[in-house]
Amino acid sequence: MSNSAMKFDVREMFEGIRGMVSSAISGTSKTGLSTPSGMQVRIAVMSTLKGDAKNGKEIIQAIQLASGGSWVPKASAIYPLLEELTDEGLLAIKIEKERRTYSLTKAGKAALEEAMTKVQEKAAKPSQTGYNNNWLEMNATSLKAGAKLAQALTQVAQHGSEAQQKRAADLVDETRRKVYAILAED
């Protein structure tokens, strides 16, 4: 096998891993992960405003930080929601130098508390399927590990010898089988 053919295989693996991670984050994966519901987005936005007022960009960054980078909401989803929450009287807007900052009103704090209570009650109930498919509650560790693996594979593809690339490809294939075996356990 030529060196260029081996590099293509490793790069193909990298693209596959990157695609899986990207799909899981965006909610388009067929792995059982789902995009956040409207209520989950509302709770996330309102939760970021519990401490202090923020503008839209700061809200998006706070959600990204709180999710460990596994969810970066789109501005096209957040800004209309901010307007909706304001119209409902749950948020107040302060405009300074064309910059809007949002804060929770008393009604917003009460609505957030009520929503969080419902979430906690739902989380306390056992899952009917036996597994958690709510990506907001999913631990981001496996997604981060996949991204780190993809970075390592890129380095092997770019700088490794043909033998090193083959060993990396074999190791990833073996690891994939072991990960599927975890799902097969009782």
What is the location of CATH 1.10.10.10 in the chain? 34-126
Q: Would you state the pLDDT for residue 27? A: 47
Q: Would you state the pLDDT for residue 33? A: 43
Helix H, strand E, coil C: the string for 93-129 is EEEECCEEEEEECHHHHHHHHHHHHHHHHHHHCCCCC
Q: Would you state the pLDDT for residue 131? A: 54
Q: Could you give the CA distance from residue 113 to residue 120 in angstroms, rounded to a whole number?
A: 11
Q: Would you state the pLDDT for residue 124? A: 67
Question: What is the token pair recorded at 151?
Answer: 């970075």
CATH topology for the 34-126 domain? Arc Repressor Mutant, subunit A (1.10.10)
Distance of CA 48 to the CA centre of its chain: 16
Q: Would you state the pLDDT for residue 186? A: 59
Q: Would you state the pLDDT for residue 31? A: 39
Q: Would you state the pLDDT for residue 35? A: 67
Q: Would you state the pLDDT for residue 101? A: 94
Q: Would you state the pLDDT for residue 58? A: 92
Q: Would you state the pLDDT for residue 7? A: 40
Mean pLDDT by 10 residues, the chain (186 residues): 42 51 46 63 87 90 80 88 94 91 93 83 63 52 73 84 90 84 75
Q: Would you state the pLDDT for residue 129? A: 53
